[in-house]
Amino acid sequence: MTEPSTLAKDIKWNEQGLIPAIAQDWQTGEVLMLAWMSRDALQLTISEGRAIYWSRSRQALWRKGEESGHVQRLKELRIDCDADTVLMKVEQIGGIACHTGRRGCFYRQLKDGVWHVTDDIIKQPDDIYGKKS
């Protein structure tokens, strides 16, 4: 896939050819999740206007919401000062970004040396993805 020259030139990809990508709610600023992008994932995200990541476990492109319907529509794309992290401001369709059925992935907070769950499950994962045997 051909990519704009600025992507190859401006972004500092890691040794695996990936860059961390933060998804943030475009209206509230809430950080929803962090995933990884390859060059192809970033280019497809730009061209399709939706978040597309690289699944390190499956070694394949992953269109956010392809199974769950919880698509992330791209509103704005930024890179940080070191050009080694992507920030996507997104519209989170369905209000669920995490595979656990919560709004976002950062639902555990450290208090007094113990992790506490701060966010409730909106929808059970089995109801989103179906039961897997």
pLDDT at position 2 over 90: no
23 lies in some domain: yes
Token pair, residue 59, equals 């070694």
**pTM of the full predicted structure?**
0.88
The rounded distance, in Å, linking the Cα atoms of 124 and 133 is 16
Number of domains in the chain: 1
pLDDT digits (tens, 9 = 90+) for 81-108: 999 999 999 999 999 999 999 999 999 9
Contact present, 33 and 97 (Cβ < 8 Å): yes
Residue 102 sits in a domain of what CATH number? 3.10.20.810
How does DSSP assign 95-119, residue by residue? G--STTSSS-S--EEEETTEEEE-S
Determine which helix (DSSP H) or strand (DSSP E) holds 36, and give its type and residue range: strand 31-38
Q: What domain range is 59 assigned to?
A: 5-125
